[in-house]
């Protein structure tokens, strides 16, 4: 694409077709009415010195002091002969575009924003292991023994035994104590749990409408 900075480089430069055949030299440069960028050049191709053909700069390139256009010599010679004494009218430009197949595409591309969600990893909280005591009630069954008095009958003719004094009866009672024993080992590990969250964002969409002026 040529810009206003290329105008001086295009003045009077040799023009070649895409096959490398010389067409002539640039005589005039026609600019875009809105941007001022070069769109067309005229080249003397006929036997008469005033006969000039319009050649599009679309697809052309400047290299080593020569302008190579995207058309072939036959296309340039058969191009519509237009008046080069004034500005290029819209209808004249359409004839040239039709001839060279360079008509601009009036289609427009509509774009819109889409919501793209991603995740970022950040610290949520810190945890550590700590032991503490919990008091609870437990019941256990303990076997106990006790002494009881029993009446024993002896024969009448059995020798007498000295009278016994008071008899002390004994009984066992539960004695409760506690002891600390290891029951399990606990260590801290991490695991990843996958959840789903719904996010909301604002997006913009382009709309295309016909502007009639």
pLDDT single digits (tens) 45-100? 755 556 799 999 999 999 888 999 999 999 999 999 898 888 999 899 999 999 99
Name the burial class of residue 125, with classes exposed (0-12), middle (13-18) and buried (19+) by CB atoms within 10 angstroms of its CB.
exposed
Q: What would the pLDDT profile of 3-49 be if each residue is shown by its tens digit? A: 999 999 999 999 999 999 999 999 999 999 889 999 999 998 755 55
| More reliable by pLDDT, 50 or 148 | 148
pLDDT tens for residues 170-199? 999 999 898 899 999 989 898 999 999 998
DSSP bridge pairs for 43: 26, 53
pLDDT score, position 96: 94
Q: Are 82 and 175 a contacting pair, CB within 8 Å?
A: no
DSSP characters over 49-68: TT-EEEEE-TT-EEETTEEE
CA distances from 51 to 43, 54, 144, 169 (A): 8, 10, 135, 148
Rounded Cα distance, 50 and 54, in Å: 13
pTM listed for this prediction: 0.51
Q: What is the residue-averaged pLDDT of the chain? A: 88
Phi, psi (deg, nearest 5) at residue 44: -75, 115
């Amino acid at each position: 694409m040529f810009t206003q900075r290329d105008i001086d480089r295009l003045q009077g430069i040799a023009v070649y077709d895409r096959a490398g055949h010389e067409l002539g030299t640039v005589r005039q440069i026609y600019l875009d009415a809105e941007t001022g960028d070069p769109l067309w050049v005229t080249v003397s191709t006929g036997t008469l010195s005033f006969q000039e053909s319009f050649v599009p700069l679309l697809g052309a390139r400047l290299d080593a002091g020569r302008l190579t256009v995207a058309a072939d010599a036959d296309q340039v010679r058969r191009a519509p002969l237009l008046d080069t004494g004034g500005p290029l009218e819209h209808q004249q430009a359409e004839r040239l575009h039709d001839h060279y197949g360079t008509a601009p595409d009036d289609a427009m591309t509509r774009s819109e924003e889409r919501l793209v969600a991603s995740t970022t990893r950040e610290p949520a909280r810190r945890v550590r292991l700590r032991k503490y005591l919990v008091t609870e009630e437990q019941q256990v069954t303990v076997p106990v023994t006790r002494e009881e008095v029993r009446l024993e009958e002896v024969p009448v003719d059995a020798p007498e035994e000295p009278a016994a004094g008071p008899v002390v009866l004994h009984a066992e009672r539960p004695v409760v104590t506690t002891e600390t024993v290891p029951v399990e080992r606990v260590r801290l590990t991490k695991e990843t749990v996958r959840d789903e969250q719904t996010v909301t964002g604002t997006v913009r969409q382009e709309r295309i409408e016909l502007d009639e002026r």
